[in-house]
């Protein structure tokens, strides 16, 4: 038997089956029937599934927040997301990214590396693409190196194009103090970049530069930028 279905007062509303015991009517399609199960959705809200129940619409996220997953629950917007790691592809500008990491700087002699007894020996570095930022602080009370003073053990070898290039300023103290007329003390990448060493060189008021001799005791602090 054919029965007429009364028209819906709202355009666009589908005819929904009511099963074998009742006539179909206009209404809201349930999830099992390919619908949302909802009659309205939050403006600018994010929709999340809820099994066979109607789709949920999350509250609108505030400006600057991101959606974070919550195990066993709906995701939620947060302004302070926390992730365990991010992997960048090889073609990305950040394909070579290393977060702040400790490294161990050393004082080295140019003609004889020697060894030193350190009272302070700390360093940190960050790599962003091919750019490396390094910080270090050293203090030693005995040292056996000879020749000019170098900082050794850079965490990442410099690019060959950076040889003999100034890469940052340093502070000398104690027995390693620079001459009285020094106006600047710079760190300079060694000519043999594979050694991962940097020379310490002073510049006087006339623009003359000279290397700093390896002292048996001293201190040095600095930060440098260079390309790997």
Question: Per-residue pLDDT tens for 24-72?
Answer: 766 666 666 566 666 666 777 777 777 777 777 778 888 888 888 788 8
Task: Tell me the three state secondary structure of residue 136.
Answer: strand
Rounded to whole angstroms, how far apart are CA atoms 16 and 28?
Answer: 7
Residue at 43 is within a domain: yes
Residue at 13 is within a domain: no
pLDDT band at 118 (very low <50, low <70, confident <90, very high): very high
Residue located via tokens 């693409």? 129
What's the domain count of the chain? 2
Q: Does 194 lie in the same domain as 157?
A: yes
Domain containing 151: what range?
A: 97-227
* Mean pLDDT computed over 192-196: 72
Rounded to whole angstroms, how far apart are CA atoms 177 and 202?
Answer: 10
For residue 10, pLDDT over 70 is answered with: no
Residue located via tokens 């994010």? 46
Looking only at the bridges linking them, the beta strands covering 166-173 and 182-189 are: antiparallel
Tokens linked to 74? 């709906």
Q: Report the pLDDT value the prediction gives residue 169, as an integer from 0 to 100.
A: 81
Number of separate helices (H) and strands (E) present in the chain: 0, 16
Which one has a higher pLDDT value, 64 or 5? 64
Q: Does 59 lie in the same domain as 141?
A: no
**What's the mean pLDDT when you consider all of the chain?**
79
How far from each other are the two terminal CA atoms of the chain, in whole angstroms?
82
Q: Does 101 lie in the same domain as 68?
A: no
* Mean pLDDT computed over 179-183: 58
Residue at 9 is within a domain: no
* Mean pLDDT computed over 2-17: 61
Q: Report the pLDDT value the prediction gives residue 135, as an integer from 0 to 100.
A: 94
Q: Does 221 lie in the same domain as 171?
A: yes
Q: Report the pLDDT value the prediction gives residue 1, as an integer from 0 to 100.
A: 47
Q: Does 32 lie in the same domain as 131?
A: no
Rounded to whole angstroms, how far apart are CA atoms 135 and 162?
Answer: 18
CB-facing half-sphere around the CA of 124: CA atoms within 13 A: 4
Rounded to whole angstroms, how far apart are CA atoms 136 and 122?
Answer: 6
Q: Which of 135-139, 154-158, 209-213, 221-225 has the lowest mean pLDDT?
A: 209-213
* Mean pLDDT computed over 86-98: 69
Q: Report the pLDDT value the prediction gives residue 119, as an integer from 0 to 100.
A: 96
The beta strand positions in the chain, using DSSP E, are 15-16, 25-26, 47-48, 56-57, 66-70, 73-78, 97-102, 106-109, 116-128, 131-143, 149-152, 166-173, 182-189, 198-204, 209-211, 218-227
Write the DSSP assignment of 40-99 as a string of letters.
---TTPPEE-BTBSPPEEPPPPPTT-EEEEETTEEEEEESS---S-----TTSTTSSEEE
Looking at 58, 84, 110, the residue that finishes a domain is 84
Q: Report the pLDDT value the prediction gives residue 3, as an integer from 0 to 100.
A: 60
| Whole-prediction pTM | 0.59
Quick one: what percent of the chain has pLDDT higher than 90?
20
Rounded to whole angstroms, how far apart are CA atoms 197 and 182?
Answer: 23
Residue at 12 is within a domain: no
Question: Per-residue pLDDT tens for 15-25?
Answer: 666 667 766 76
* Closest to 176 (Cα-Cα) out of 202, 201, 213: 213
Q: Does 30 lie in the same domain as 121?
A: no
Q: Which of 27-36, 94-103, 191-200 has the lowest mean pLDDT?
A: 27-36
């Amino acid at each position: 038997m054919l029965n007429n279905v009364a028209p819906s007062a709202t355009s666009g509303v589908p005819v929904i089956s009511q099963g074998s015991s009742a006539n179909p009517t206009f209404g809201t399609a349930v999830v099992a029937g390919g619908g949302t199960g909802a009659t309205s959705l939050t403006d600018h809200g994010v929709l999340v599934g809820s099994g066979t129940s109607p789709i949920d619409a999350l509250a609108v996220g505030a400006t600057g927040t991101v959606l974070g997953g919550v195990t066993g629950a709906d995701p939620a917007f947060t302004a302070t997301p926390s992730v365990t790691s991010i992997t960048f592809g090889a073609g990305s500008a950040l394909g070579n990214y290393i977060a702040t990491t400790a490294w161990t700087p050393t004082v080295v002699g140019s003609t004889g590396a020697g060894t030193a007894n350190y009272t302070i020996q700390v360093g940190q570095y960050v790599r962003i693409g091919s750019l490396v930022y390094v910080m270090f602080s050293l203090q030693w009370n005995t040292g056996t190196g000879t020749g000019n003073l170098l900082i050794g053990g850079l965490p990442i070898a410099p690019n060959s194009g950076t040889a003999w290039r100034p890469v940052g300023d340093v502070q000398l103290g104690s027995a390693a103090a620079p001459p009285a007329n020094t106006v600047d003390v710079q760190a300079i990448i060694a000519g043999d970049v594979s050694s991962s060493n940097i020379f310490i060189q002073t510049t006087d008021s006339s623009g003359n530069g000279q290397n700093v001799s390896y002292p048996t005791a001293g201190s040095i602090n600095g930060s440098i930028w260079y390309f790997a």
